[in-house]
Structure formats: structure tokens, C-alpha cells
A and B are shown apart, each in its own frame.
Chain A
């Protein structure tokens, strides 16, 4: 029994450190994904057709690709075209640009939910394109897109487990180290599952709070 506790005392901090790494990588990737996603969604209604096609194909390609292969191309394939990034950087950029395609679709559905008449009225009143997005579209669509956005962030957190395969020392990687060094197999992974589940639940609750805030 004491042996059991010793084991967790020894490896517990390692797993928590992994959880922290998972959290900050996901936070950065979400911020990057939201920014790029919003940009993509705006470009999708650009007047220049080739630009629209480029954005559309970017979204379709990203959505048809397993995240693992994107990470492999960046991490193992990158150096052969002169792109050298640390595993963590590949994690943030990979997850960010991957998530951006999904966030772009969510933003697009939000933009579409705003009645055309409002945009026309705003234009008549002399608002510029960016002003319309900033003051008319975004505040209204925030109500509608918050639930799917939170959902997508949760998916991103779960996808981040894949970063263990490209050697990022996040929760799954550190748990695997625990497993490899102690031969205790099931308990560490169950603990990892529990930690992920707690993180995901926390984000879900945070989403509910934001949902209440943006409602008007």
C-alpha cells in the first residue's frame, strides 16, 4: 500500500506537469485558431474569387486530414524543406491551423445567421465593412456560435493527446513515461483519462458562463 502511494507521490507531479503543458498548448492553439479562423471566414466573402477558392480548399483539406499526419508533415517533413520547429511549436501551430478550418466554418454559420437587411441598413448608414463586422455581425453571432465554439475547443483539447506521438511532454506523453517506468498500466491511463475529463468539463462550464454573458 505504501508502495502504491510512493508511486503516485513520485509520478503525480509529472502527470500534473503534463496537464499544465496540455492546457497552455491548447490555450495558445485556440487563440491562434480563433484568429486565423475569423480571418478565413471573412476572406470567404471576399470579392476576389480565386481568394475565396483558396480559402475553401484550405478548409476542405484541413477537415479531410487526420491531425496526426499534419503533425508528422510539420515535425518530420518540415526540416527537409527548411522548416525547423520544436515539438511544442509544431503542436501549437499544427493544432492552431487545424482548428482554424473548423472555427472558420463556425464563424461562417454565424455570419450567415445575420439577416441581410441589417447589413444593408448599416451600409446605408455609412458603416464600413470592418465596422459592420465589428459592431453588427460579431456581437449578434457570438450568442449563436458560443456553444459550437466551446465544443470545438473541447475537441482540440482531446486532439492534443496526439502531440505525445511527436514527443511533446504533455499529459499523455508523461503518462506513457509513468507506464514505461513502473509497468503499472491501467491506473496511470485511467488517471490521465480522468484529468482530461476534468479539463474538458471545466472548459464546458466556462463555456456556459460565457454563454450567459453574451446573451442580451
Chain B
């Protein structure tokens, strides 16, 4: 059994690297877009608010697997032929935007509204105030939730194996197909996922402490 794991570990780690790339890109792309959607959800214009709410409701209310399949089949239909990995990143990004917007909204609510009013009074423009006053504080407040969202996207990225992206899950399936040892291989994959997620929550706790000290 040890030999089996040893033989297949390099390719599994390569798959794990792919898992990290796909979910990492989605999370990082999702951050600025999630922020924009957050300001959309809290906008004073009713139609902006309503549109943002609908976007959120749709992406938070349907299974990510179905979203992934729709994106994967929809893109070629409207004339965009992309590699599965790009479709995977697009789907995960569009999904995390909706969740990150909600996380940022929570952070926004925790900042006293007086601050923004004061900034506006001294003549700072709305977007400048958002950029320099709200966003830095929001980030500090939402780091624990952002780490949770990252873990959740990392776990959900296992689903992109369905559209043939060779990340950890897909690589494991391929190994099982040739070795017929599902139990050992899938347990090994599970251990890799747990280690990555453990490291993530560790990093999250460290940044949290760092920012708390600076504040």
C-alpha cells in the first residue's frame, strides 16, 4: 500500500497544484468583483440594488455543479471556445463573487456610518472614500469569513473534475482506473485536501493576528 501511494504521490501532488491554481485564481478574481457587487447590493439606486440581489440569489441558490455544467456548455454555444480549465475558473469566480459580496456586506455593516458621512463632509468623493476608508477596514473585519470562503471554493473545485480538468480529484480517478485501488487512493486524496485546508486556516489565523496587532 505504501508503494502504491509512493508511486502515485508525485502526480497527485501535481493535481493538488492544479486544484490550488484553479481555486486561487477564482478567489482572487472574485475579490474586486465581489466588492463591486457588495456596493451594488448596498447601493442607493433601487434598480442597481435589485439587479445585484437577483444575481446573488441565483448564484447562491443553485448547486455549483449545475452552474459549472451550464457555463461549460453555454460558452461554446455563444461562440466562445475555451479550455475546460477556463470554464472552470469562470464558473467558480462567478459563484464566489455572490458569496464574497455577502461577506463584504457584513464587513460594511460593522463600520460606523458616521465615518463615511464625515469623509463626504470634508469633500472626499464617494469612490475615494470607499477605496481609502471603507475597503481597508472591511478587509480586516472579513478575513475569517474570506478564509472560510476560500476553503469552501477549494472543496468545490473538486467538482471541476466532471468537466475533465485534471486537478486532484480527476487525477485520483485516473489512478483508480488503472490501479483498481479506490479506497487507498481516495483516502490519500482526502488527506491532501485536509492538509491544504488546514494550512489555509493556519494562514488565515496568522494574518488575522498580524492585522489585529497593526490596528
Known: A161-B65, A193-B66. A186 touches B158 (CB 8 A): no
Q: Say how far A173's CB is from chain B's closest CB, in angstroms.
A: 10
Compute the total of residue contacts between A and B using a CB distance below 8 Å. 112
Residues of chain A touching chain B, judged by Cβ–Cβ distance below 8 Å, are: 60-61, 63-70, 72-73, 76-78, 80-81, 154, 157-162, 164-165, 172, 175-176, 179, 185-186, 189-190, 192-193, 196-197, 200-201
Known: A66-B193, A186-B73. A193 touches B67 (CB 8 A): yes
CB atoms of A162 and B155 under 8 A apart: no
CB atoms of A76 and B182 under 8 A apart: yes
**Prevailing SS type, chain B contact patch:** helix
Q: 20 other contacts beyond A80-B182, A185-B74, A200-B61, with CB at 8 A cut-off? A: A64-B151, A64-B194, A65-B193, A66-B157, A68-B169, A69-B186, A70-B190, A72-B172, A76-B182, A165-B162, A172-B63, A172-B69, A176-B69, A185-B73, A186-B73, A186-B74, A193-B58, A193-B63, A196-B62, A197-B62
Can you give 26 A-B contacts (C-beta < 8 A)?
A63-B197, A64-B198, A66-B158, A66-B193, A67-B155, A68-B158, A69-B172, A72-B172, A73-B186, A76-B182, A77-B183, A77-B184, A77-B186, A80-B182, A157-B63, A160-B63, A161-B65, A161-B66, A179-B73, A185-B77, A190-B70, A193-B62, A196-B62, A196-B66, A197-B57, A197-B62
Q: Does B176 contact A (CB under 8 A)?
A: yes
Complex Cα–Cα for A68 and B19 (A) = 14
Known: A66-B156, A69-B190. A80 touches B183 (CB 8 A): yes
Contacts of A197 in B (CB 8 A): 57-58, 61-62
Q: Say how far B21's CB is from chain A's closest CB, in angstroms.
A: 16
Q: Say how far A179's CB is from chain B's closest CB, in angstroms.
A: 8
In the complex, residue of chain B having the shortest beta-carbon distance to the beta carbon of A77:
B183
Known: A64-B198, A66-B156. A72 touches B66 (CB 8 A): no
Neighbour of A192 across the interface among B58, B66, B74, B197, CB < 8 A: B66
Residues of chain B touching chain A, judged by Cβ–Cβ distance below 8 Å, are: 57-58, 61-67, 69-70, 73-74, 77, 151, 155-159, 161-162, 169, 172-173, 176, 181-184, 186-187, 189-190, 193-194, 197-198
Please provide the 3 A-B residue pairs with the shortest distance between their CB atoms, ordered closest to farther: A77-B183, A161-B63, A66-B158
Known: A64-B197, A69-B186, A186-B73. A196 touches B155 (CB 8 A): no
CB atoms of A77 and B182 under 8 A apart: yes
In the complex, residue of chain A having the shortest beta-carbon distance to the beta carbon of B162:
A165
Complex Cα–Cα for A78 and B183 (A) = 7
Q: Say how far B190's CB is from chain A's closest CB, in angstroms.
A: 5
